[in-house]
Chains A and B, each alone.
Chain A
């Protein structure tokens, strides 16, 4: 079974629209970490955010915001007033405290058109 599911394969929006990228995870651990990474066309993964399982407080960073809900095992990412530079593949990832590996979702490709 997939530990991290990103059901949206590809999303296209027009600049200035808001867009939400979904992430659903599965774990039995009580302590775990969730991540979002951005992969622009250059290929390198850029770290965006980390949340631990004890901190359900939502976070906002500029045009980015994250909604962490343990009740639904979701960690969704919203970009407000999207820009062309936001076009990239976005990965959600999970790390369980007792294991050394990261589980990555399959990624959501975001296309922001001018």
Chain B
């Protein structure tokens, strides 16, 4: 089955620690995205990548970093510089950047205390 996997579903960290969220897709999509969702808010774009070894900042990139070493993988690191890291994080992919169809993973709920 083709799709997007994110692991783990729930993640707990202490304040001041960096944490990396995994996102893998086997859809052969070029473009991948990371969104953050807070209660009562829509999805906000953190980073996106249109191709391997390329990525761009979204609207709320501060305190986050990404890498795109493989087409299938787009991990997101939440650094200690992110002031309010507790949120639900969704990864998505599309055939190419600008495609109007995005496919979403199941999400990772990160709690930092």
B63 within 8 A of A: no
B2 within 8 A of A: no
Number of residue pairs spanning A and B whose beta carbons lie under 8 angstroms apart? 52
Q: Which residues of A contact B61 (CB under 8 A)?
A: none
B52 within 8 A of A: no
Q: Which residues of B contact A45 (CB under 8 A)?
A: 43, 90, 92, 104
Query: Is B43 a contact partner of A100 (Cβ separation < 8 A)?
Result: no
Q: Which residues of A contact B97 (CB under 8 A)?
A: 100
Q: Which residues of B contact A104 (CB under 8 A)?
A: 42-44
Chain B nearest CB: distance from A88 CB in Å? 14
> Taking CB as reference atom, which chain B residue is nearest A3?
B42
Q: Please measure, in the bound complex, the distance between the C-alpha atom of A35 and the C-alpha atom of B94, giving whole angstroms.
A: 15
Task: Annotate A24-50 by CB proximity to B: 1 below 8 A, 0 otherwise.
Answer: 000000000101010000111101001
Among the interface residues A43, A50, A106, which one has the most CB atoms of the partner chain B within 10 A?
A43
Which of the segments B16-24, B68-76, B78-86, B105-113 contacts the partner chain? B105-113
Query: Is B109 a contact partner of A33 (Cβ separation < 8 A)?
Result: no
Q: Which residues of B contact A102 (CB under 8 A)?
A: 43, 45, 102
Q: Which residues of B contact A95 (CB under 8 A)?
A: 100
B residues touching A (Cβ–Cβ < 8 Å)?
40-45, 48, 50, 58-59, 88, 90, 92, 97-98, 100-107, 109
Between A and B, 21 residue pairs with Cβ closer than 8 Å are A6-B42, A33-B100, A42-B106, A43-B107, A44-B105, A44-B107, A45-B90, A45-B104, A47-B101, A50-B101, A91-B42, A93-B42, A95-B100, A100-B48, A100-B97, A101-B45, A103-B42, A104-B42, A105-B42, A106-B41, A107-B41
